[in-house]
């Protein structure tokens, strides 16, 4: 009974994150700097060893806000703890592993790994609108441009996660044999690309594992050269590589193929990890199941736009091209949703009785990527379409992540036992 009273007393004393947001006027926009990222990262990590990476920046930001807003009381962290995380996806209380979230977008991969018991200790995303959505759901503001963040500023972690943009590399005159024989090898060839930032962080932090997500065409991009450089760089950094193209249609009613690259540090796993990609369930969700019952009429295409799309399709069909709109089979699955969906919704149109077709609503777009309805959408429709079009199929990431985490926990447990025996 005494323990229960103490626990209840502690809970009563906890300050809601939304209360802190209001007090400090925490708002994410295109003027948001790293101070807010430091503060929210410190708030979420003040009890673990990663707090040292954020405390100084967080303290500086807190002092600035107190002075700017004329807040009564000392700018001391003790007045802000403990925090009750009244956000849709709060940090886990007893995490099993740590991960970082690079090129984070709105947090689709984070959500998957957080569902598996992981604690995110660092996140980076350059787009201010995505940061706004991320903070609304996780209570943490991502740091900005990863190219300007030193690897020394990133905490240790078990798993590195990243859905990075696809860019070409220049490997003219560099054979695999020669590259592997050079001092820096393939890592040199990634200079100036965003993949280089992933590679330099892996090289410095040496996580047990990583999972990278990209478009299916990464394998054939630039006649296969891009994928060669990526895989050889990762091997050169000391990781055994596993990769596979997987389709989100096994979890959501959308044809969405993505390549997933998973790696394990050979120094630890000795290349003997038991990782395999999961066997995916048979697709059984129909497109109509993700639709809202009474969508606003504003999502119905105007007569002018609908005529334009039909004329455009007919013109290209006459030329033998496949360009055109996609009228979705309500009993089947849709085409791949892209970031351009906000322009006209052409790739995924929804038929309606007695009038022209409509586009997806933002909530339907979220469902099409496997986000739960509790996921907040605090941005305009245009930004929401861009965000979900750029995001991942969350349950697919979680299915792969389950096997990655299982292996990482096994490796970590083995390391602990060796330390106990030989330490």
Per the listing, tokens 């799309």 go with 309
User: Is residue 257's pLDDT more than 70?
Assistant: yes
User: Is residue 230's pLDDT more than 50?
Assistant: yes
Residues 6+ apart with CB under 8 A from 169: 189, 190, 193, 195, 222, 225, 226, 229
Radius of gyration of the chain measured on its C-alpha atoms: 24
| pLDDT (0 to 100) of residue 3 | 57
Look at 326 and 111; give whichever has higher pLDDT.
Answer: 111
Identify which of 216, 210, 258 has the alpha carbon closest to the alpha carbon of residue 234: 210
DSSP string, 197-262: HHHHHHHHH--SEEEEEEEGGGTTGGGGHHHHHHHHHHHHTTEEEEEEEEEGGGTSSB--EEEEEE
- Mean pLDDT computed over 183-201: 73
Q: Which residues are designated catalytic?
A: 166
Q: Is the previous residue joined to 303 through a cis bond, with omega within 30 degrees of 0?
A: no
| CATH 3.90.120.10, the chain: domain bounds | 287-390
Look at 174 and 89; give whichever has higher pLDDT.
Answer: 89
Average model confidence (pLDDT) for the chain? Answer: 89
| pLDDT (0 to 100) of residue 171 | 41
- Residue 199 CA to residue 39 CA, distance in Å, equals 27
| pLDDT (0 to 100) of residue 421 | 37
Give the model confidence (pLDDT) of 136-184 as tens digits: 999 999 999 999 999 999 999 999 999 987 655 544 334 443 444 443 4
Element (H, E) at 340: none
Identify which of 60, 83, 65 has the alpha carbon closest to the alpha carbon of residue 26: 65
- Mean pLDDT computed over 118-145: 97
Burial of 70 (0-12, 13-18, 19+ CB in 10 A): exposed
| pLDDT (0 to 100) of residue 370 | 98
- Mean pLDDT computed over 34-58: 95
- Confidence class for position 123, pLDDT limits 50, 70, 90: very high
Element (H, E) at 153: none
* CATH code, 287-390: 3.90.120.10
CATH 3.40.50.150 fits 92-281+393-422, yes or no: yes
User: Is residue 39's pLDDT more than 90?
Assistant: yes
| CATH 3.40.50.150, the chain: domain bounds | 92-281+393-422
User: Is residue 78's pLDDT more than 80?
Assistant: yes
């Amino acid at each position: 009974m005494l323990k229960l009273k103490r626990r209840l007393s502690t809970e009563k004393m906890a300050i809601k994150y939304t209360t802190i947001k209001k007090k400090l006027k925490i708002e994410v926009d295109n003027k948001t700097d790293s101070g807010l990222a430091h503060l929210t990262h410190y708030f979420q990590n003040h009890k673990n060893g990663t707090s040292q990476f954020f405390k100084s920046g967080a303290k500086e930001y807190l002092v600035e806000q107190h002075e700017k807003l004329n807040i009564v009381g000392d700018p001391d962290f003790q007045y802000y703890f403990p925090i009750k995380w009244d956000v849709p996806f709060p940090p886990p209380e007893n995490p099993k592993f740590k991960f970082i979230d690079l090129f984070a977008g709105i947090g689709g991969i984070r959500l998957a790994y957080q569902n598996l018991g992981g604690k995110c200790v660092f996140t980076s995303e350059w787009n201010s609108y995505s940061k706004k959505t991320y903070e609304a759901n996780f209570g943490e503001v991502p740091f900005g441009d990863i190219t300007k963040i030193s690897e020394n500023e990133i905490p240790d972690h078990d798993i590195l996660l990243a859905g990075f943009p696809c860019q070409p590399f220049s490997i003219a005159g560099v054979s695999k044999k020669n590259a592997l024989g050079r001092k820096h090898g393939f890592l040199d060839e990634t200079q100036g690309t965003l993949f280089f930032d992933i590679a330099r962080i892996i090289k410095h932090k040496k996580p047990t594992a990583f999972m990278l997500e990209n478009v299916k065409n990464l394998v054939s991009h630039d006649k296969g050269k891009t994928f060669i450089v990526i895989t050889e760089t990762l091997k050169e950094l000391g990781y055994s590589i596993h990769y596979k193209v997987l389709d989100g249609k096994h979890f959501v009613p959308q044809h969405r193929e993505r390549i997933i690259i998973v790696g394990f540090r050979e120094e630890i796993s000795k290349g003997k990890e038991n990782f395999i990609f999961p066997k995916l369930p048979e697709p059984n969700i129909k497109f109509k199941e993700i639709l809202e019952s009474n969508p606003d009429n504003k999502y119905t295409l105007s007569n002018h736009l609908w005529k334009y799309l039909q004329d455009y399709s007919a013109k290209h069909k006459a030329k033998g091209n496949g360009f055109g709109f996609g009228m979705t089979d309500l009993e089947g699955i849709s085409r791949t949703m892209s970031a351009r969906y906000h322009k006209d919704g052409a790739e995924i149109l929804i038929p309606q009785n007695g009038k022209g077709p409509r586009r997806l609503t933002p909530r339907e777009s979220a469902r099409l990527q496997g986000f739960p309805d509790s996921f907040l959408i605090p941005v305009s429709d245009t930004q929401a379409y861009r965000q979900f079009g750029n995001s991942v199929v969350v349950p697919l990431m979680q299915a792969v992540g389950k096997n990655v985490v299982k292996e990482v926990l096994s490796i970590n447990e083995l390391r602990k036992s060796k330390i106990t025996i030989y330490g």
